[in-house]
Amino acid sequence: MNESRPLTIVSGMVRAIGGAAVLRRESVAIESGDEVFAALTRRHLDSAYRLAWAILGDSGDADDATQDAFALAWRNRRSLRDPARFDAWFGRILINVCRQLLRQRLRQRSRQFGRPVEVDTGPAVSDTSQPTSDRDAITRAMGRLDADHRIVVILRYWADLTVDEIAARLDVPPGTVKSRLHYALRSMRPGLEDAR
């Protein structure tokens, strides 16, 4: 049930989620490689946690995913040759960890042990200003998506990445991203429109 956790670290130019544009300037001033890496991890911690939380919808899982991703990044830091590409490089690691967690959780709970499919898969709702029915509808709609579709929806509509950026981060063709988005929106539409 668990999939192994090999990481394919491939460089790719992916836009930051949350202001990594200053990385190049900062990295110049730092001397040793590990110090550069430490500085990069500190700078990306908050954006990584936010993205993990958005994908996983659960604080405990976001805690795990964030720590897991950074631990894996540290172990594989020698494969990062250009600090300016940390964002893209680390983004793949984080998404991969989140994806594994999501898939593991959905499989375990919905398939083998009969837990409700939707349990813990929706984003937690923290803004009470939005009408309850809307928040519930989007929560349920997201909760019905599998890991791959949920991730592309979050990256596209919450993190505002382009299709090409998502494709690079997921290491899939842009057409696959579009297909997943199309499928996800199609499956979400009835629930969201009914709530209106």
Specify the stretch interacting with another protein by CB under 8 A; choose among 20-28, 78-86, 169-177, 185-193.
185-193
| Per CB under 8 A, 72 contacts another protein | yes
Write out the binding residues for another protein, residues 113-132 only, by CB under 8 A: 113-120, 122-127, 129-130, 132
Nearest distance from residue 15's CB to another protein, in Å? 17
Residue at token pair 């394919």: 8
Nearest distance from residue 92's CB to another protein, in Å? 16
User: Could you tell me where the beta strands, DSSP code E, fall in the chain?
Assistant: none
Write out the binding residues for another protein, residues 76-105 only, by CB under 8 A: 77
| Beta carbons of 52 and 66 less than 8 angstroms apart | yes
Sign of CA dihedral 51, 52, 55, 58: negative
| Per CB under 8 A, 68 contacts another protein | yes
> Among residues 11, 41, 76, 176, which is the contact residue for another protein, using CB under 8 A?
41
DSSP label of 159: S
> Among residues 22, 24, 45, 173, which is the contact residue for another protein, using CB under 8 A?
45
